[in-house]
């Protein structure tokens, strides 16, 4: 992991000049109000957490493909903040392995290699079957209903051919299982692995092949509801292996991205 040293920038607070502005003569035209994304940026500067969430969301929504350079100066302009805040947000993303910082070059959306992609799925096959086994042993009716509702949302997203929503909802299904299993440490690990999985799918997903068939989520939910822990675990392994098998490991991403357009 790279260590980044942020240069401290001094920001002078803006002093109100309401009392200094001379009154306009009657009938004088009003200055045009700022409109669009520029006005929103000026009105609501983003917090570090807000920037982190916006960038992460754009990555998971396919708006920032793996390999995209995240230029500090441009992001600072987009969000209306100092470069120091951008560096801190990027450092958080780098800690989560979503962003890679290369000395003397800058920050880039991580591009998992083929070997790393395989490692991500290997790690998930070690962790998630045990989590779903634990959940199947004690799932409540409310938790089952939560999973059923989620599967229905996935089905609706597929009917609308909303690929971004499909990938997001698929990841959230796995995260929900990890959270309901009750181990906060493993839930956090699954969340990080799921984010990396999204990057892998963005980079290597084969065209016209569903990377995560939603009916498999439905079958897993059925096994959880039936208290069949062994079947739920076996279905989770089968599901993760199926997702991995759909990857086209020869594809590359287009990394030409207009940051201003993404965050407008």
Q: In tens digits, what is the pLDDT along the chain, a chain of 264 residues?
A: 433 333 333 333 444 444 444 444 555 555 444 444 444 444 467 899 999 989 988 887 778 888 899 999 999 999 999 999 999 999 999 998 889 999 989 999 998 888 999 999 999 999 999 999 999 999 999 999 999 999 999 999 988 988 778 888 888 999 999 999 999 999 999 998 988 888 888 788 765 555 566 689 999 999 999 999 999 999 999 999 999 988 876 655 445 567 777 787
This prediction has a pTM of 0.68
Could you say which DSSP state residue 26 is in? T
SS3 content of the chain, % helix, strand, coil (to 5): 60, 5, 35
Strand partners for 100: 108
50 C-beta neighbours (distance < 10 Å), count = 15
Domains of the chain: 41-111 (1.10.10.10), 114-245 (1.20.120.530)
Cα–Cα distances (Å) from 202 to 26, 49, 113, 170, in that order, read 58, 24, 12, 13
- Parallel, antiparallel, or unpaired for β 106-109 and 99-102? antiparallel
Cα–Cα distances (Å) from 59 to 5, 110, 117, in that order, read 24, 10, 17
Work out the burial of residue 28: count CB atoms within 10 Å of its CB; fewer than 13 is exposed, 13-18 middle, 19 or more buried.
exposed
Cα–Cα distances (Å) from 117 to 189, 242, 262, in that order, read 16, 14, 26
């Amino acid at each position: 992991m790279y260590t980044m040293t942020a240069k401290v920038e001094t920001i002078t607070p803006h002093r109100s000049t309401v009392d200094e502005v001379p009154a306009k003569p009657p009938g004088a035209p009003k200055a045009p109000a700022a409109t669009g994304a520029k006005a929103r940026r000026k009105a609501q500067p983003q917090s570090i957490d807000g920037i982190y969430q916006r960038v992460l969301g754009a990555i998971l929504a396919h708006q920032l493909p793996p390999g995209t350079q995240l230029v500090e100066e441009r992001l600072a302009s987009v969000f209306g903040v100092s470069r120091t805040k951008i560096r801190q947000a990027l450092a958080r993303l780098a800690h989560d392995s979503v962003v890679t910082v290369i000395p003397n070059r800058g920050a880039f959306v991580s591009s998992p290699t083929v070997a790393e992609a395989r490692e991500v799925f290997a790690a998930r096959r070690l962790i998630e079957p045990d989590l779903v086994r634990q959940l199947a042993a004690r799932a409540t009716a409310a938790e089952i209903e939560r999973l059923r509702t989620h599967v229905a949302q996935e089905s609706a997203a597929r009917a609308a051919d909303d690929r971004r929503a499909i990938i997001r909802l698929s990841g959230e299904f796995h995260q929900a299982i990890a959270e309901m299993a009750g181990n906060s440490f493993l839930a956090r690990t699954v969340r990080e692995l799921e984010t990396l999985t999204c990057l892998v799918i963005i980079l290597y997903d084969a065209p016209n092949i569903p990377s995560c068939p939603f009916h498999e989520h439905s079958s897993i939910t059925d096994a959880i509801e039936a208290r069949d822990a062994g079947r739920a675990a076996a279905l989770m392994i089968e599901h993760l292996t199926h997702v991995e098998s759909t990857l086209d490991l020869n594809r590359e991403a287009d990394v030409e991205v207009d940051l201003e357009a993404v965050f407008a």
